[in-house]
Structure 1
């Protein structure tokens, strides 16, 4: 459709310029009717188009833009191949780093945390990081490719670069919080400060992590309230279910109960509790009797420390208190009624 129209336009221009149109031979210069575009004799494609169509306008257009268009196609094709290869390499690199070391900035994190993360979690973290870094690389590569292509097509890119610089400065000032959220989210994921399923405290919010993105972290607390915290507003993180957890059980008893008797009852109850098949998978050893940790107006307060699997400390504490209650009841010993030391924390997660 476009070829006949351009050919007719070229013939009309040639007819108005001279009574007869002579064929173009090498060494000649063909000028369009507007005298604004020229086809130099060094371009054989221009000569062939003019001889085939008889249109000087079409020949000038092809001779002027075709070389640049071919270069643009090559640039875009190479950029497409390069971004795909780079994305695969980046994902593979992060998978290798995470398989060998959970935190690439901490050479000591080879042990417990590595064993607690499943292969699926490792691959998910590697894909997330690879996607983020790969996307940033792709944006930069395509931006350079587009600007280079415009330059090859004859456009003046200096005003475009100046405008892009001004727009970037304006966007930087207007979206500081958004940029801060994304950068903080990237470091949270890279450093592995917490993961989906962890129980964490973020400043005033506390709950189980339901999702982590580059911009926001979503928590759900014990009463079902969902918290959305922009990552840029996170100043400190307390992870209560990372690598391992510890349950602290305080026992307020009467001062008339001998210390040796308390130790005997607690150790016996701890061995039974550790051998129970219901709780053994949640434990990382036998509960440890620490002795008297303080003395208050009700009498001495004894403490038992229990190392558990991540996030199981609250359930283990509740079940262990039940076992101790039975043991002391069987021995005829009554625990004192200090709500600060006997009550299980109501804000801790509910039992599974």
Structure 2
């Protein structure tokens, strides 16, 4: 086993590790290149957030593919597992509509650059500074120091108080 499939397993794991590291560097450089064409510190913060999101997504995809390639090498047929995972995914998808809504809304908040970490905002009646922003939720800290966790799918109105047009 070690000579035949064992070597393939080691090669697949090694390649997945190398590809995920290279992908992280590639995404980081690609985002940095786009930011350098624009201006300022604000764009650097946005680049950091986008880079983190894209790197995480790529890493998950690479490791899922690697695991699917490993299964036949250790004697497990992935076809029934994929069929079962598809059915489970469908059931979870139906039950997690709000979670999907949060992630999609978060993606558009990031891509449209509606607000960034450090900016003062009024989101769905909560006013404060954005201290964290990811695909699932926005965290703001109000003047009294209270931390508010707002799922991005619930952001119906977002006012950016830091950006004013003169």
With the shorter chain as reference, the TM-score category is: 0.7 to 0.9
**What does residue 13 of structure 2 align with?**
76
Cα separation, 2, equivalents of 1:78 and 1:224: 46
Residue number among 48, 62, 74 corresponding to 1:153 in the alignment: 74
**What does residue 66 of structure 1 align with?**
3
Cα separation, 2, equivalents of 1:122 and 1:90: 16
TM-superposed deviation, 1:222: 4.3
- Write the mapping of 1:7-22 to structure 2, written as runs, cut at 5 A: none
Residue number among 104, 107, 128 corresponding to 1:186 in the alignment: 107
CA contact (8 A) 1:211 1:219 kept: yes
CA contact (8 A) 1:181 1:216 kept: yes
- Write the mapping of 1:42-53 to structure 2, written as runs, cut at 5 A: none
Cα separation, 2, equivalents of 1:238 and 1:224: 20
**What does residue 319 of structure 1 align with?**
none
TM-superposed deviation, 1:148: 1.3
Structure 2 CA distance for partners of 1:194 and 1:155, relative to 1, 3 Å: same
TM-score, normalisation: structure 1: 0.43
CA contact (8 A) 1:217 1:228 kept: yes
TM-superposed deviation, 1:76: 1.5
Choose between structure 1 and 2: higher helix proportion. 2
Structure 2 CA distance for partners of 1:143 and 1:239, relative to 1, 3 Å: same
Tell me, what secondary structure is at the counterpart of 1:184? helix
Structure 2 CA distance for partners of 1:71 and 1:91, relative to 1, 3 Å: same
1:231 maps to 2:155 = no
Tell me, what secondary structure is at the counterpart of 1:211? strand
TM-superposed deviation, 1:237: 1.8
Structure 2 CA distance for partners of 1:78 and 1:229, relative to 1, 3 Å: same
TM-superposed deviation, 1:229: 1.4
Cα separation, 2, equivalents of 1:215 and 1:71: 37
RMSD of Structure 2 on Structure 1 (CA): 2.2
Structure 2 CA distance for partners of 1:97 and 1:161, relative to 1, 3 Å: same
TM-score, normalisation: structure 2: 0.85
TM-superposed deviation, 1:82: 1.0
CA contact (8 A) 1:95 1:122 kept: no
Cα separation, 2, equivalents of 1:210 and 1:81: 33
Aligned length: 166
Which consecutive residues of structure 2, in runs of 5 or more, have no partner in the other structure? none
1:95 maps to 2:16 = no
**What does residue 200 of structure 1 align with?**
121
Higher-Rg structure is: 1
Structure 2 CA distance for partners of 1:208 and 1:150, relative to 1, 3 Å: closer
Tell me, what secondary structure is at the counterpart of 1:241? coil
**Cα deviation digits, residues 64-110 of structure 1 (max 9, x gap):** x6312211211221111111101100111111112224xxxxxxxxx
Which consecutive residues of structure 1, in runs of 5 or more, have no partner in the other structure? 1-61, 102-113, 246-306, 308-352
CA contact (8 A) 1:211 1:218 kept: yes
Tell me, what secondary structure is at the counterpart of 1:235? coil
